Structure 1
Amino acid sequence: MRVVVGISGASGAILGIRLLEELQKNDVETHLIISSIAKDIIEYETDYSVQDVENIASYVHDENDLNAIVNSGSFKFDASVIIPCSMKTLSAITNGYGDNVISRVGDVTLKERRQLIIVPRETPLRTVHLENMTQLSGEGAIILPAMPGFYHKPQTLDDQINFIVGKILDIMDIDNNLFTKWKQ
């Protein structure tokens, strides 16, 4: 399996990092793009360095390298995940404005009818944010907001992070035990 992961400039970079760690554990080839703002956020919000995060990925692409292989529809990948997804990146993907590698990958994923998972991390939301999400959903993207569940009785922040990442892995059909599934 091959997955493209974009970490854009929104709070919650740890979600993208944890996803990369889980994909690595599952021997998934990953292609990582980190925006310049996300690099600052990684340093501010986590104990990881940008280099630590890049070392988790199979391949790393510069956000401004529009010649990067992941920008081509002929480059075969199974899914792309934008995690976290800033409202700027969401808008760019929605409107086909591929001005950097993350938004271009989102565009390519949709046009090639591949699996695009968007993890918006913003609150509260404006109407235009909701409209952009609705439009992307209508084109086949999966909108998975970073909204934690509570039925698994989380005890730590890691439990909440794992819940979101586990949901993403479930969508990609990757077995995981990151959270207790709903039981009756």
Structure 2
Amino acid sequence: LNRISLADSPIVVGISGASGAVIAAKLIEALIGNDVEVSLIASHASKIVWKQEMDQSFGEFLEQIMETGKVTNYNIGDTQAPIASGSYPIRGMV
């Protein structure tokens, strides 16, 4: 039986509409800073809360982190996205 190595697999970061945008931003920045691939998914409500809690919109933050080449962003309703599959290899999810 071949084992899939998850060492190079991404960590999924899911952002809900609950308060905590600062924590999400710091986590994503820390993962990127440690050369970890991030699969990101954010709810519609989280983007509203983000704007209220942060000095920039979620879109501005997303644009900034996408430039690193370490982040893949998935739309919340995209059921065809690789992240929607149970066989999508990940290291974990926060």
In the superposition, the TM-score normalised over structure 1's length comes to: 0.42
**1:65 maps to what in 2?**
78
User: Partner amino acid for 2:76?
Assistant: E
Q: Which residue of 1 aligns with 2:59?
A: 51
Give, in angstroms, the shift of residue 53 of structure 1: 2.7
Instruction: Determine if the alignment matches structure 1 residue 30 to structure 2 residue 38.
Output: yes
Structure 2 counterpart of 1:17: 25
Q: CA RMSD in A?
A: 1.2
How far apart are 1:48 and its partner, in Å?
2.5
- Note if contact 1:4-1:79 (Cα within 8 Å) is conserved in structure 2: yes
Measured in 2, the distance between the counterparts of 1:12 and 1:73 equals 27
2:86 partner SS: coil
2:14 is aligned with 1:6: yes
Letter matched to residue 93 of structure 2: S
Q: Which runs of structure 2 are paired with 1:23-172 in the superposition (5 Å)?
A: 23-55=31-63, 56=65, 58-81=71-94
Report if aligned partners of 1:9, 1:35 keep a CA contact under 8 Å in 2.
yes
How far apart, in 1, do the equivalents of 2:25 and 2:60 lie? 9
TM value normalised by structure 2: 0.79
Q: Percent identity?
A: 38
Shift, 1:52, TM fit? 2.8
Q: How many residues align?
A: 81
Q: How big is each residue's C-alpha offset from its partner over 1:67-121, in whole Å with a ceiling of 9 and x where there is no partner?
A: 111111221110111xxxxxxxxxxxxxxxxxxxxxxxxxxxxxxxxxxxxxxxx
CA contact (8 A) 1:61 1:68 kept: yes
* More helix, by proportion: 1
2: CA distance, partners of 1:39 / 1:24: 20
